[in-house]
Amino acid sequence: MFETLSEKFQGVLKKLRGHGRISEGNIEEALREVRMALLEADVNYKVVKDFTAAVREKALGAEVLASLSPDQHFIKIVHGEMAKMMGGEALDLDLARRPPVSVMLVGLQGSGKTTSCGKLALNLQKRKRRPYLVPADVYRPAAIEQLKVLGGQLGIPVFDSSPSADPVDICREAVRYAELNGYDTVLLDTAGRLHIDEELMEELRRIKAAVEPSEILLVADAMTGQDAVNVARAFHEKLSLTGVLLTKMDGDARGGAALSIRAVTGAPVKFVGVGEKLEALEPFHPDRMASRILGMGDILTLVEKAQETIDEKKAQELTRKLRRSEFTLDDFRDQLVGLRKMGSLEDILGMIPGVGGKLKELKGAVPDEKELKRVVAIIDSMTREERRNARIINGSRRKRIAQGSGTTVQDVNRLLKNFQQAEGMMKRLTKGGGKKMGRNLPFFR
């Protein structure tokens, strides 16, 4: 996400650091490169023009020109204007109405509406809401079945829609059913088209009038860049969107849609899809996203992800084991599985200040998803005694473990070496040696 843009900004800031003082000349040079970087990232031309003009006005102020740290002042200004461009502050769903609250998901075919409906339901479920899924796309029978499958995976009820029924009647009856059965949030998965037409908009307007939704979210494919912005503008004009959910953000290294939509349409981005898994949905925080683009990290999101995936009791138990030098391969596997649940390693590393701009350097050193799965398979192929005491794993045991996990003896040797390094690092941390943690991590060598 934003990988190319982030690299360009890192280059601009690096050049600024080479100047003792900031001047109109080097500001103009920096802004020229910023403008090109944003345009290459497929950001709307007018948005780029307004953004650079605002940065120029603030960067040429007397306080900045007199500063001895030009890059710090410049990055502060760019960060503020970029966050402002994306909406300034994070906006959540408006769920304060008397339940059941209706949320309409609209968009073109192929944008990921049905999957996003499931992701949003899971997000609400984690917040202790009681969501109810409604398949209202009667023109694509597979959409009805897909939502039923998603509902089954999540343990969330799905309204029994009929392909022959009128979508407006489906939505109206579903809301009534939700009210009678204690569901507080109704997610309406509406029909899409390959392109915007009056027939589609008329149906959506009728649904809006029938259920009076608290939220109308456009689901747009971030990979389509400025096309997503144009689609958002058209839907906003017809339906008065309350927000946008951008899908496939993990596949868009440019990010022009996320940077442009709010400024062009006025509709805020509320969520971003960052992967195929149902857990891969994040609230959109403009200030945090600006920090990630500028290589400043995103510690708040990292902490929130950790809090969602880490079991407090298990964390306390691990601390107790570390103090007693009882860190085992089972514990090692649990930590890796927990890390996987937080998302891709590249995303996690991108949230660490100072690491975002060095992801390319780290790509060869950081284990990918396949490598992590291989590690888990190797550990699962060990006996209970071997997992408790790795020191008993001799040559013949290593060969048996490799055969059982479908890997090689070299893979097993590498895992055991990494485990020993991790074990040593954990012991140092519990003895107050945490300052050197980064250089001792086995995966960063």
Residues 274 and 223: beta-carbon distance below 8 Å: no
pLDDT at 66: 56
Please state, in angstroms and rounded to a whole number, the distance separating the CA atoms of residues 106 and 241. 9
pLDDT at res. 332: 76
CA–CA separation, 334 and 316 (whole Å): 14
Predicted confidence at residue 89, as pLDDT, reads 84
Rounded Cα distance, 377 and 265, in Å: 48
pLDDT value, residue 267 = 86
Question: Which residues of the chain, if any, have pLDDT below 50?
Answer: 298, 354-355, 357-359, 361-366, 432-445
| Encoded amino acid at 373, one letter | K
Q: Are 292 and 267 in contact (CB under 8 A)?
A: no
435 φ/ψ angles, rounded to the nearest 5 degrees: -65, -30
Res 315: pLDDT: 54
Structure tokens at 324: 């007693």
Nearest to 270 by CA among 126, 77, 95: 95
Cis amide leading into 100 (omega within 30): yes
**What is the token pair recorded at 406?**
């479908």
- How far apart are the C-alpha atoms of 15 and 332, rounded to whole Å? 42
Kind of pairing between the strands at 185-189 and 101-106: parallel
- CB neighbour list of residue 4: distance below 8 Å, 6 or more residues apart: 40, 41, 253, 254
d(CA 422, CA 444): 11
Domains, the chain: 3-85 (1.20.120.140), 101-296 (3.40.50.300), 301-444 (1.10.260.30)
Beta bridge partners of 135: 189
**C-alpha closest to that of 273 among 111, 158, 134:** 111
Write the CA distances from 47 to 55, 86, 250, integer angstroms.
12, 10, 23
Q: Is 255 exposed, middle or buried (0-12, 13-18, 19+ CB in 10 A)?
A: buried
Q: Determine the pLDDT at residue 368.
A: 60
Residue 153 has what pLDDT? 93
Candidates 243, 196, 253, 194; CA nearest to 223 is 253
Give the helix/strand (H/E) hosting 428. Answer: helix 409-430
Q: What pLDDT does 431 receive? A: 56
Q: What is the pLDDT of residue 347?
A: 59
- 125 sits in which H/E element: helix 113-126
In angstroms, the CA 389 to CA 105 distance is: 52
- In 40-110, the DSSP E strands lie at 101-106
CA atoms of 198 and 193, how far apart (whole Å): 11
Amino acid sitting at position 349: L
Q: What is the predicted pLDDT for the residue at 135?
A: 93
